[in-house]
Amino acid sequence: MAKHIPGPLYYAQLGASGLPMIFLHSTPDDHRFWLYQTAHFSQAYRTIAVDLAGYGRSPIPLAGVTIPDQAEACWEVVDRISSGPCIVHGNSMGSHIGYHMAHQRPDRVPAMILSGIGWSPTREPMRRWAERYRQEGIALRHTQVLDHLRDANKTEPFFLHYADMVCALNNPSTVGAIIAMNEALTDAEPDSFFAGIKAPTLILEGEEDRSAPTVGEVVKRIPNCVLEMIPRAGHACNIEAPWDYDRRAIAFLQKLGL
């Protein structure tokens, strides 16, 4: 069992056959962040959307939880379904967990598709979110879900409904878990860590994501990495422009024979 995570992660699987494909959400979302992709890709893959520890229906992590702990817990989920390779999708926090999944079992990650990432060696944004949650409490979660979107989408009924849906699973321990994961994200990986990522990697970045100006620094550090920008999307490009995210992901996997 993964350190600091007292029990298996909750996950939803769609697709009865094909190569496994795991989906790792951002904070403060849960596995439903990937609702379009699991519906679409399940026709050809076994899609596995997880609630990371502390989110949705998964157990609350213990003090000291780290991003590598979350990655180990995700591999435990994959191992319940297959002992072979698994394609990794990640957004924001999920992308960082994806990095560690690829490091922990490089022979089992044939490709990664990441989004919502930028370069911030000091990780000050994560520190600020942790402090805001301490001051404002769990009500901030609804605000942060919408904060991931381009400005034009923040008042759209669908996205307001999505934020309501995510927050409906709040419990008294949720805010502490979100704070813990923001704190875990402040532990920045060194350049040598990125150089050790062997999986072919596609980064899909929303043009209106506030991380977009620095995403090139990530691309420079990951070998065999390509970047594509998605117009009319912010930090959550997979849910803001799923038609574009999916099309580009499929083209990337086809080139790899996956």
Cβ pair 226, 202 in contact under 8 A: yes
Fold for 11-255, please state it.
Answer: Rossmann fold (3.40.50)
Check residue 122 and give its pLDDT. 82
pLDDT of residue 83: 96
Q: How far apart are CA 70 and CA 94, in angstroms?
A: 9
Taking CA atoms, 3 is separated from 69, 182, 231, in Å, by 6, 17, 39
Which 3-state string (H, E, C) describes 86-141? Answer: CEEEEECHHHHHHHHHHHHCHHHCCCEEEECCCCCCCCHHHHHHHHHHHHHHHHHH
Burial class (CB in 10 A: 0-12, 13-18, 19+), 1: exposed
List all residues 6 or more positions away from 231 whose beta carbon is below 8 Å from its beta carbon: 207, 241, 244
User: Helical H runs in the chain?
Assistant: 35-41, 67-81, 93-104, 124-136, 140-147, 157-167, 174-184, 191-195, 215-221, 237-240, 242-255
Q: Is 230 exposed, middle or buried (0-12, 13-18, 19+ CB in 10 A)?
A: buried
Is the entire prediction scored with pTM above 0.75?
yes
Give residue 225's pLDDT: 97
Confidence (pLDDT) at 140: 98
Six-digit token string for 236: 């959550």
Q: Which residue has the tokens 């060194």?
A: 190
Write down the pLDDT at residue 87. Answer: 98
Distances in Å between the alpha carbon of 5 and those of 25, 32, 76, 174, 220? 17, 21, 11, 14, 33
pLDDT, position 121: 82
Eight-class DSSP state of 7: S
List the chain pLDDT tens, one digit each, 258 residues.
899 999 999 999 999 899 999 999 999 999 999 999 999 999 999 999 999 999 999 999 999 999 999 999 999 999 999 999 999 999 999 999 999 999 999 999 999 999 999 998 888 889 999 999 999 999 999 999 999 999 999 999 999 999 999 999 999 999 999 999 999 999 888 889 999 999 999 999 999 999 999 999 999 999 999 999 999 999 999 999 999 999 999 999 999 999
